[in-house]
Structure 1
Amino acid sequence: MCFVVDSCKFYADRSPRLFVAIAHPFAIAIVIGCTMFLVLTEMLFVVPTMFGAESLAYKIYWMLAVYISYNIFANLLAVYCTDTSVDGLTQEQRSPKPEEARLWHRCDLCKMLVPPRSWHCKLCRCCILRRDHHCIFTATCVGLKNQRYFFWFNFYMTLGTAIALATNYFYLFTENNSLAFLQVRFTLNIFMAIDYGLDWDNWSIWMDLIVLINVFAFVAPVIMLGYQVALILANATFHKSSESVYNLGVLENIRIILGKRWYWTFLSPVVQSPLPLDGTRWKTKTLPTKLL
């Protein structure tokens, strides 16, 4: 994970525009491609083979597949389309009150004062409110106003790939009745496919390749989801994960990111959940009556 982040940062710093032109379409294509690949292989081959195309289990799987896929793509779109930049503030919000001016800082690239916790992104070419990080898989920065969608995007990516992985392993286990044999066969089939070429008529090799893709598709979102859970619960950001001055307690921290109706936001990104803060003023744990 650190290697990927450092590598992206290195190339993004060297040539921001070229990085955006190449990395963003490539990363989004991976997300869409992996999601569609797993949905189609599960629903057209694996699940009907296990339960039968007319079974209740198959119908339940289809409902889950549609709902999870909808939330993956809808939250991905919401992250990209939601303006979380300082430029999205009203003219009145862009000017600090006299007693708060000392808390703002000047961005030399944007040539204006920006609120606390707002930082410039070279790839987005603007300052982001409560900037968490720039995500190539959503082609935009994750900040105050779209972190809710980014969290649920990762959640449903993790949930979907976890269900697919469990289904695939259950299918292989019931086919072979041995977890030990399954592990050996999985490893041998993959290396044989690499060394001697893929036997297009061998379904077991295809199944092992599906599982391998599934594993990689599961690891990335589950790592990022873990980061997001920790950051949201502490009201911290990716690049300042150790800061604790803004930690107002678990429930209040969740409300700051997921909104006042946070308990319904898992249903869909279209659920209205207004944020309690606009990103220009922040309460702190140590000084609850003042702003930072």
Structure 2
Amino acid sequence: MILRPLERAFLPRSAGDGACFLLIAVCVPLTYMFQVTVIMPELHDVGSFWYTAVWLAGIFLVFNITSNMLACMLVDTSIKLHILKPPVDSHLLSRWHMCDACQTLVPPRSWHCEICNVCVLKRDHHCRFTCCCIGHHNYRYFFYFLLYMGLGALYVSINASIYLWYLHADYYWRPYTLLTVFVPALSLTVHASWENFYVVLYELNLLAFCMCTLLLVYHRPIFQRGAVMKERSTSKYDLGLRANMEMVLGKRMHLTWISPFVRSDLPHDGVNWEPATKEE
């Protein structure tokens, strides 16, 4: 695994990348503080078993959200990762193609990203929230980033629903408060208060859960077929579910859910791909 220089990893390449990254960088710690300091003391006795268990689970989720996000950004999955030497074998060489932007021969399943300005090995897509492309070497971290973000947002949304609409129903079940649910900006401009700020955080978590769920559902068949977004209509690299999962999560895939720091080497270098079927 090779890491990108910090100035390239953390410097957004567009205004959209910067805005999406800032949204995650600000909202994740704010949501955790909202959960721990506001919601949990009203749902569980401070210091009780369930309070401690939920607190530890929250730390685990926040750790995996942030660390997998950072791993996505830091792990280099571009063609610069290797000193690319086109294969001598004509059969393998025929699968390579010329990138006009990079002015070089690039391996199969590598495509150029206009935002990153580089070709990416087994490129899936450019992720706005991590400010980088998702490809062969960092797809694992993108998958867990989405999974843990969705789980965390779901848990906070459920607890916040109990807090807002049940424990404090006398305040939140009012026409004005219900209106701010549909017009969030109104709550912080017309009548700024902590109570209205909680509604905004609640809505952001609902939005995060919906987005993560939709992305996971969209990527599921692609993931299962061992493909990427540009190959979503084909199955020519499908090696079977277990082998496809290993190609993304590595040889120790059963342990990768614990942390991005768990080493799990990929069975392929991401360069010379050959179809598993005769489909071209």
Normalising by the smaller structure, the TM-score range is 0.7 to 0.9
1:284 to 2:275 alignment:
yes
Give 2:207's aligned residue.
216
Give 1:129's aligned residue.
121
CA contact (8 A) 1:132 1:237 kept: yes
Give 1:90's aligned residue.
83
Identity %: 31
1:108 to 81, 92, 100: 100
1:235 to 2:226 alignment:
yes
Deviations, residues 122-153 of structure 1 (Å, cap 9, x unaligned): 11111100100011110110000100001001
1:32 to 18, 25, 44: 25
Give 2:13's aligned residue.
20
For the structure 1 residues 52 and 88, does the alpha-carbon distance in structure 2 shift closer, same or farther, using more than 3 Å as the test?
Answer: same
Give 2:217's aligned residue.
226
Residue 192 (structure 1) shift: 8.7
Residue 177 (structure 1) shift: 8.0
Residue 226 (structure 1) shift: 2.1
Give 1:41's aligned residue.
34
1:164 to 139, 156, 159: 156
State the alpha-carbon separation in 1 of the partners of residues 255 and 197 from structure 2: 39
For the structure 1 residues 86 and 69, does the alpha-carbon distance in structure 2 shift closer, same or farther, using more than 3 Å as the test?
Answer: same
CA contact (8 A) 2:75 2:137 kept: yes
1:267 to 2:258 alignment:
yes
2:52 to 47, 51, 59: 59
User: RMSD across aligned C-alpha pairs, in angstroms?
Assistant: 2.7
Residue 108 (structure 1) shift: 1.6
SS in 2 for 1:277: coil
Deviations, residues 175-203 of structure 1 (Å, cap 9, x unaligned): 2689xx969786345469828922627x3
Deviates more, 1:150-159 or 1:81-90: 81-90
Residue 165 (structure 1) shift: 0.7
CA contact (8 A) 2:224 2:244 kept: yes
State the alpha-carbon separation in 1 of the partners of residues 261 and 69 from structure 2: 12
Give 1:145's aligned residue.
137
Deviates more, 1:168-177 or 1:121-130: 168-177
CA contact (8 A) 1:76 1:149 kept: yes
Deviates more, 1:95-104 or 1:250-259: 95-104
Give 2:3's aligned residue.
none
State the alpha-carbon separation in 2 of the partners of residues 192 and 123 from structure 1: 33
1:70 to 2:70 alignment:
no
CA contact (8 A) 1:248 1:284 kept: no
For the structure 1 residues 133 and 45, does the alpha-carbon distance in structure 2 shift closer, same or farther, using more than 3 Å as the test?
Answer: same
CA contact (8 A) 2:77 2:121 kept: yes
CA contact (8 A) 1:173 1:182 kept: yes
Deviations, residues 227-285 of structure 1 (Å, cap 9, x unaligned): 23332111121233112111121111111111111111111111111111111222433
1:244 to 2:235 alignment:
yes
AA matched with 1:42 = Q
CA contact (8 A) 1:34 1:217 kept: no
State the alpha-carbon separation in 2 of the partners of residues 206 and 47 from structure 1: 17
State the alpha-carbon separation in 2 of the partners of residues 88 and 33 from structure 1: 31
Deviates more, 1:50-59 or 1:129-138: 50-59
